[in-house]
């Protein structure tokens, strides 16, 4: 799990640093080169629930292993790309490989570990992903400066080979269980038409928040309105079609009945608000540091670096506390800490020296690191009878939270700026960016607070707080 999450994180977040270098190498604009990032996130976010259902039918370990191979092969092919379109193709392949991994890893952890062990178990991939981000930030800049962007993808290739090596014994165990189960998985039916419509719904929703239009990166210009409004309408129309298909299906692809489980739905909502806040931070902080305060992108990295380091050690502590005590205060406290950190940024980011910005962000840094591993366990523990559905929805809400967070933050900021901001000099525009950042940050705080309020009433069924040896892998079980 650690090796695979390290592979996913290296392939997704730090490689965005290579976008300008890729544009220079192929002689294209940065906007065109950015498709290497967009296609990767698009494929990941739109197929993650589908890949969890594939794991339910064909075995989570098997699909997980295929995902590692696909993602590793995509990095190898990316290093050989002779054109930008080849690189975009391989990046899209990598996005699908990442979905195969993360959608099934949660179900595997829930299969192997007891409910009162999962907080610590989920801390391992969470910590590994943070290591992936930090390794990428520290090494990839050197690779891009002194060697080549191809080495960025080559680094992920090496990690992929290590992940395949570690996963092989588990794959052999999966194959043994498949023979012993007598083909039980043949009973799992997947409506691939509905699956395709859901992929389209999620894909258009993700694209609706991206600035793939001419002109300024705004939501209010004529060019922006001509793109974003039709994309939002298309996404809603496809969502309506998907709901109709599911209501009429005897074997729905996404069974809405699971959302009647009150505590499961509450956990998903709180999870969404947390991941919204993460992308709000990663969207708004660079804007206020660069456009509002006039610093370089290097300073942005230094401001966000302390925020990332909390994820190296605090998730393990949070997981231990959750497993041992199952405290009801952990979720609300984590989200209220995140909300207070975002509020402090909104109120005082333009009034403190630049080294004070990470200090303002400190409550959010602590809250995020405390929240993720326990709430991964909470989501999985509140739906024990279908690990595949729980795992798929856990990752879908995470990806949609990222999309909604970045879209809301950027939209409110864009609406707060004067129309003439793009014609001003950097010095003239800074006060407007500071004001817009403040409005956007304080607006998002209330959404995070709503997630915290919901988590106050979160429960895990009493039976799930005790050891359940029957959940250990058995021949004929679902893995």
For residues 370 and 455, what is the distance between their CA atoms, to the nearest angstrom? 14
pLDDT greater than 80 at residue 211: no
For residues 29 and 14, what is the distance between their CA atoms, to the nearest angstrom? 20
Helix or strand run (H / E) with residue 289: none
Average pLDDT, the chain: 85
For residues 413 and 164, what is the distance between their CA atoms, to the nearest angstrom? 43
pLDDT greater than 90 at residue 435: no
Task: pLDDT band for 421, please (50, 70, 90 cuts).
Answer: low
What residue ranges do the domains of the chain occupy? 1-187, 191-251, 254-466
CA 12 to chain centroid, in Å, comes to: 10
Task: pLDDT band for 84, please (50, 70, 90 cuts).
Answer: very high
Tell me: the pLDDT tens digits for 280-329? 787 788 878 887 888 877 788 788 888 888 989 999 999 999 999 989 89
For residues 50 and 96, what is the distance between their CA atoms, to the nearest angstrom? 10
pLDDT of residue 219: 67
Task: Output the six-digit token pair for 267.
Answer: 């956990």
Counts for the chain of helices (H) and strands (E), in that order? 17, 0
pLDDT greater than 90 at residue 14: no
The reported pTM is 0.88
For residues 125 and 169, what is the distance between their CA atoms, to the nearest angstrom? 19
In 3-state terms, what secondary structure has residue 114?
A: coil
pLDDT of residue 308: 83
Q: Which residue has the higher pLDDT, 298 or 256?
A: 256
Q: Count of residues for the chain?
A: 479
CA 185 to chain centroid, in Å, comes to: 29
For residues 162 and 169, what is the distance between their CA atoms, to the nearest angstrom? 13
Sign of the Cα pseudo-torsion (302, 303, 304, 308, in order): positive
Sign of the Cα pseudo-torsion (240, 242, 248, 254, in order): negative
Q: Which residue has the higher pLDDT, 30 or 443?
A: 443
Task: pLDDT band for 407, please (50, 70, 90 cuts).
Answer: confident
pLDDT of residue 266: 96
In 3-state terms, what secondary structure has residue 423?
A: helix
Q: Which residue has the higher pLDDT, 177 or 431?
A: 431
Helical residues (DSSP H) of 29-117, grouped into ranges: 30-33, 35-58, 60-79, 84-112
Measuring CA to CA, which residue among 164, 152, 156 is closest to residue 64? Answer: 164
CA 351 to chain centroid, in Å, comes to: 31
Task: pLDDT band for 220, please (50, 70, 90 cuts).
Answer: low
Residue 346 near residue 459, CB atoms below 8 Å: no
Measuring CA to CA, which residue among 344, 336, 345, 340 is closest to residue 284? Answer: 345
Task: pLDDT band for 466, please (50, 70, 90 cuts).
Answer: very low
pLDDT greater than 80 at residue 79: yes
Measuring CA to CA, which residue among 150, 43, 154 is closest to residue 89? Answer: 43
Q: Which residue has the higher pLDDT, 402 or 48?
A: 48
- Same fold across 1-187 and 254-466: yes
Tell me: the pLDDT tens digits for 331-382? 999 999 999 999 999 999 889 999 999 999 999 999 999 999 999 999 999 9
Residue 468 near residue 291, CB atoms below 8 Å: no
Measuring CA to CA, which residue among 348, 350, 379, 353 is closest to residue 363? Answer: 348
pLDDT greater than 70 at residue 468: no
Sign of the Cα pseudo-torsion (259, 260, 264, 265, in order): positive
Task: pLDDT band for 15, please (50, 70, 90 cuts).
Answer: low
- What class, spelled out in words, does domain 254-466 have in CATH? mainly alpha
- What class, spelled out in words, does domain 1-187 have in CATH? mainly alpha
- C-alpha separations of 316 from 122, 310, 327, 451 in Å: 8, 11, 15, 23
In 3-state terms, what secondary structure has residue 278?
A: helix
């Amino acid at each position: 799990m650690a090796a695979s999450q390290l592979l996913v994180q290296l392939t997704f977040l730090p490689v965005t640093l290579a976008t300008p270098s890729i544009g220079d190498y192929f002689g294209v604009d940065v906007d065109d080169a950015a498709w290497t990032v967009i296609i990767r996130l698009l494929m990941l976010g739109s197929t993650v629930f589908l890949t969890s259902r594939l794991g339910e039918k064909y075995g989570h370990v098997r699909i997980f292993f295929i995902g590692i191979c696909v993602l590793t092969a995509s990095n190898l092919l990316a290093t050989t790309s002779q054109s930008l379109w080849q690189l975009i193709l391989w990046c899209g392949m990598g996005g699908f490989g990442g979905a195969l991994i993360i959608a099934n890893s949660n179900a595997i952890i829930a299969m192997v570990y007891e409910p009162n062990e999962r907080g610590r178990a989920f801390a391992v991939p969470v910590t590994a992903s943070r290591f992936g981000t930090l390794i990428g930030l520290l090494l990839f800049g050197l690779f891009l400066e002194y060697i080549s962007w191809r080495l960025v993808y080559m680094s992920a290739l090496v990690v992929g080979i290590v992940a395949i090596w570690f996963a092989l014994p588990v794959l052999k165990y999966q194959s043994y269980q498949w023979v012993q189960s007598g083909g039980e998985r043949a009973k799992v039916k997947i409506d691939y038409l509905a699956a395709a419509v859901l992929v389209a719904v999620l894909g258009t929703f993700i694209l609706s928040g991206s600035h793939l239009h001419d002109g300024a990166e705004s939501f209010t210009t004529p060019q922006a309105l001509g793109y974003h409004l039709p994309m939002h309408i298309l996404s809603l129309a496809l969502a309506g079609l998907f709901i109709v298909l599911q209501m009429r299906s005897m074997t729905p692809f996404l069974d809405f009945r699971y959302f009647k489980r009150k505590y499961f739905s509450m956990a998903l909502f709180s999870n969404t608000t947390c991941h919204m806040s993460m992308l709000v931070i990663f969207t708004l902080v660079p804007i206020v540091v660069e456009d509002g305060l006039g610093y370089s992108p290097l300073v942005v990295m230094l401001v966000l670096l302390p925020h990332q380091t909390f994820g190296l050690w605090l998730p393990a502590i949070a997981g231990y506390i959750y497993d041992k005590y199952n405290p009801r205060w952990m979720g609300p406290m984590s989200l209220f800490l995140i909300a207070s950190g975002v509020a402090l940024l909104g109120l005082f980011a333009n009034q403190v020296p630049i080294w004070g910005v990470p200090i303002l962000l400190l409550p959010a840094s602590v809250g995020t690191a405390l929240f993720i591993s326990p709430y991964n366990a909470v989501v999985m523990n509140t739906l024990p009878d279908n690990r595949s559905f729980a795992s798929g929805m856990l990752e879908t809400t995470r990806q949609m939270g990222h999309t909604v967070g970045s879209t809301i933050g950027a939209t409110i900021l864009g609406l707060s700026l004067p129309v003439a901001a793009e014609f001003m000099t950097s010095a003239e525009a800074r006060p407007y960016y500071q004001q817009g950042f403040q409005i956007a940050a304080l607006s998002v705080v209330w959404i995070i607070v709503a997630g915290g309020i919901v988590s106050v009433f979160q429960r895990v069924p009493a039976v799930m707080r005790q050891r359940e040896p029957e959940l250990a892998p058995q021949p004929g079980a679902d893995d």
